[in-house]
Amino acid sequence: MNEETEVSYATEEQVEAGEAQLERDIEDMEADPVAEEVAKEVAPETKRGIKETKEVLEALNVLAEFFARMFADGQVNSSDFIHVVGLMKNLDTFGSAIGGFREVDDELKDLDEAELVELGLAAYGLVKKVVSAVKK
Where do the domains of the chain lie? 51-135
**In the chain, which stretches have pLDDT less than 50?**
39, 42-46
* pLDDT for res 42: 45
* pLDDT for res 23: 73
Q: Round to whole Å and give the CA distance between 36 and 90.
A: 43
Q: Round to whole Å and give the CA distance between 13 and 18.
A: 9
Q: Round to whole Å and give the CA distance between 66 and 59.
A: 11
* pLDDT for res 43: 43
pTM of the model: 0.59
